[in-house]
Chains A and B, each alone.
Chain A
Amino acid sequence: MSLVKKPSFKASWYLIGIFKGMGITFSNMIRNLVKKAGNDKISLAMKTYNYPEEKYEYGPRFKGNHVLTVKKDGSIRCTACMLCATNCPAQCIKITAAESDDNTVEKYPISYEIDILRCVFCGYCEEACPVDAIRMGPEWQTAALNGSDFSYDIKHLAYRAQLKGGIVSRVDEEERHKAGI
């Protein structure tokens, strides 16, 4: 048995709801036009950024596009341990590991793909990574022409132009081995 109630008289008039909504919109619009942002009392107006000349500055913890960090010698820091791929709720990270012939490295990713269209930018991968190999950088304007450009590979994630040669990871192998841990 369904519990559909008879609509009350006020609710049956749709116009009342519409006018209330439009009222709020127009009052904000007029306030923004009249009052300039930034005068002394708490301004209610929204600051307008003239994008792209003026860009909004996000905080340091902003979770934008992923960055794969590198070691001091430029090689990729990721050890293909699959923790990020496991922790990712959207399951959009695909890694294939391979054996490296340098015995101190032992394992590194041959391919590391993030399907950025599936990614929800939650940052779980950053939290899961034991060696600070993946970070979520500050960039967020990422447009591309066709769908396949949105699956980022190692070359894009670690060595794209904006990174200027790759960002060095905080957790580095050499110090850890020298310290004997």
Chain B
Amino acid sequence: MLKCKINGQDVEVAEGSSIIEAFKATGQDIAHYCWHPGLSVAGVCRLCMVEIEGNPRLQIACNTQVQEGMVINNNSDKIKDAVKWGLDFHLINHPLDCPICAQAGECQLQIQYMKFGQYDPEMAERKVKKRKVVDLGPKIVLDTERCILCSRCVRFTDEVSKTNELGIFNRGDHSEIGTVDDRPLDNPYSVNTVDICPVGALTSREFRFQQRVWYLKNETTVCNGCSTGCSTKVYFNEEGMWRVKPDHNDDVNGYWMCDEGRGTPRFVNKDSRLLSAWNGQKDEGQDLEAGAAAKAVGQTLKKVVAEQGSDKVAFVVTGQYTDQENRAFLSLAKDLGVKVYHWVNNPEKMDEFDGLLIRGDKNPNTYGLKEAMKEVGVGSPWSELESSVSDLEYVVVAGPENHFAYSDLTDKVDLFSKANHQVWFVAGDHDVLRAASNKVSLIPTKTYVEKDGTYKNFEGREQRIRRVMTLVPGALSLTEASKLMSGQELLVDGNVSESYRKTNFFSSNERGYL
């Protein structure tokens, strides 16, 4: 471990780490654009200047290794002047696009300008004009005029996604980011370039003008898109969830996340959700209160098991629920003595893996479910259900949250409609369910951002998710539903998770720091 002094504070740093890593370790503030912990060092923005005792010239922090006993400071006037001019050089050809730029509010140029700039623009000559609003495919929009050529996105496509799509063409101040012949930038990790772009050059087409970033609050949680379990940051406000960004987690996903995982708002937001319970058949039925519906189902199940025997009822589970929910649901099935079947959505692609983050198994908690089924001692082969479904009275299904991964939803509904009744605990509102031929009752469940619990990813690593917001007030989590079905009453637990404490809307919102 090397000892050095940063702005008067003693710091212990590992061997061979650069000065900027030492700054990040101590949480000291240093201006930088082109350095990113997950990428190689480019050393081109020349903003992370530091003064080292015994060295007359200013050194860049990202490429200078820490030596024993180095005295480093970056808050002297010389540095402030250097950063001010470094920023000035970035801004002279930068277009005045802040009103129409999606990055406004979390743009590093704005942040550094407020800290180091605050000067009147000195350049009176004409700015260099470059191509704006370049269409780079379905996910990314490029604006080469705003680009500050820090080459983060180029290094990303070279080192992380290894697709070598982006490059810097031309030379000098006419250089432009782009793909060859404006080919779409379309690899499964392309939206990561939008996160690491410090300015508004690369914007994601999905989030582009939906919401201003200072209206959004963010919380860290775990993505439920597939079994990798990447740590993510969810951006939300009263109207719903707007976007998902990766959060740094060295053990699982480093600094990156796949584009599929960013699609979770599509099944979480209110417009695609089941808002209240429903009982009925072939599209006719009436809405119910979720709690009451769950209790009613509980009583009828007990009655059916008592009169016609436990083989008249079947439980179906999916890997979409947290460990706590699985245990509650499975122990309820055990008490009733009914058989439990595990619905695997895409058996042939289960153990696919693309080498970085995307896995074939699109359920966040398959590992946890298998563990719980072994622990509780339930679980029977799927073929048994297929053969015995027609003489079943009740099929209770803990349906999928992320119905995009469950393409076989329709034919499973047809299978279950052979039984007399089918009960679905599901988050999304699907017409195919309401149109089923037998009697159907739907009960809304919470999605992964509305409940506490833990997932176990593909290697069994337990990761906690937290209640971030409440989108559908009436929805139940599976634990609550199981408690109601087993006859107990739902007690309102006192400890609201403190992350949701009502704070001042603007001041609590931390600007997006890279």
Contacts and interface: CB of A to CB of B under 8 A. Distances in A.
B496 interface: no
Contacts of B99: 79, 81, 83, 107, 130-131
A7 interface: no
Interface string A49-76: 0000000000000000000000000000
Contacts of B126: 179-181
Interface string B98-115: 111000100000000000
A80 B212 CA distance: 10
B214 A106 contact: no
Contacts of B96: 176, 181
A181 B127 contact: yes
For A79, A98, A179, A181, the residue with the greatest tally of chain B CB atoms inside 10 Å of its CB is A181
B100 A106 contact: yes
Nearest to B212: A82
Nearest to B133: A103
Interface in B113-144: 125-127, 129, 132-133
A97 interface: yes
Contacts of B127: 180-181
B140 to A, nearest CB: 14
Interface in A161-181: 176, 179-181
A45 B125 CA distance: 60
B100 A81 contact: yes
A103 B100 CA distance: 11
A80 B99 CA distance: 7
Given A130-B99, A131-B99, A97 B209 contact: yes
Contact of A98 (B97, B98, B209): B209
B182 to A, nearest CB: 14
Contacts of A32: none
A80 B209 CA distance: 9
Given A81-B99, A106-B100, A99 B212 contact: no
Contacts of B212: 81-82, 86
B208 interface: yes
For A80, A81, A130, A179, the residue with the greatest tally of chain B CB atoms inside 10 Å of its CB is A81
Contact of A103 (B104, B132, B208): B132
Nearest to B102: A107
B133 A130 contact: no
B133 A106 contact: yes
Interface string B254-277: 000000000000000000000000
Interface in A77-99: 79-83, 86, 97-99
Main secondary structure of the interface of A (DSSP, over half): loop
Given A97-B209, A107-B209, A130-B98, A81 B104 contact: yes
A130 B110 CA distance: 15
Contacts of A82: 212, 215
Contacts of B98: 81, 130
Nearest to A86: B214
How many B residues are at the interface, by size bracket? 10 to 19
Nearest to A80: B209
Contacts, number: 42
A107 B129 contact: no
Contacts of B132: 103, 106
B365 to A, nearest CB: 37
Nearest to B208: A99
A128 B407 CA distance: 49
For B99, B129, B133, the residue with the greatest tally of chain A CB atoms inside 10 Å of its CB is B99
B171 to A, nearest CB: 21
A130 B98 CA distance: 9
Contacts of B133: 103, 106
A79 B104 CA distance: 13
A46 to B, nearest CB: 44
Contacts of A80: 100, 209
A98 B214 CA distance: 18
B13 to A, nearest CB: 41
Interface string B75-105: 0000000000000000000001111100010
Nearest to B210: A97
Nearest to A104: B132
Contact of A180 (B97, B104, B129, B506): B129
Nearest to A106: B100
Nearest to A102: B133
For B129, B132, B212, the residue with the greatest tally of chain A CB atoms inside 10 Å of its CB is B212
B100 A79 contact: yes
Contacts of B125: 180
Contacts of A179: 126
Contacts of B208: 99
Given A130-B99, A181-B127, A99 B214 contact: no
B100 A107 contact: yes
For A86, A99, A103, A106, the residue with the greatest tally of chain B CB atoms inside 10 Å of its CB is A106
A99 B97 CA distance: 14
Contacts of B215: 82, 86
Contacts of B506: 86
A138 B311 CA distance: 79
Given A81-B104, A130-B98, A180-B126, 19 more contacts: A79-B100, A80-B209, A81-B98, A81-B99, A82-B212, A83-B99, A86-B506, A106-B132, A107-B99, A107-B100, A107-B209, A176-B96, A179-B126, A180-B125, A180-B127, A180-B129, A181-B96, A181-B126, A181-B127
Interface of A: 79-83, 86, 97-99, 103, 105-107, 130-131, 176, 179-181
The 5 closest A-B pairs by CB, nearest first: A180-B126, A81-B99, A107-B100, A97-B209, A79-B99
Interface of B: 96-100, 104, 125-127, 129, 132-133, 208-209, 212, 214-215, 506
30 contacts: A79-B99, A79-B100, A80-B100, A81-B98, A81-B99, A81-B212, A82-B212, A82-B215, A83-B99, A86-B214, A86-B215, A86-B506, A97-B209, A98-B209, A99-B208, A105-B100, A106-B97, A106-B100, A106-B132, A106-B133, A107-B99, A130-B98, A130-B99, A176-B96, A179-B126, A180-B126, A180-B129, A181-B96, A181-B126, A181-B127
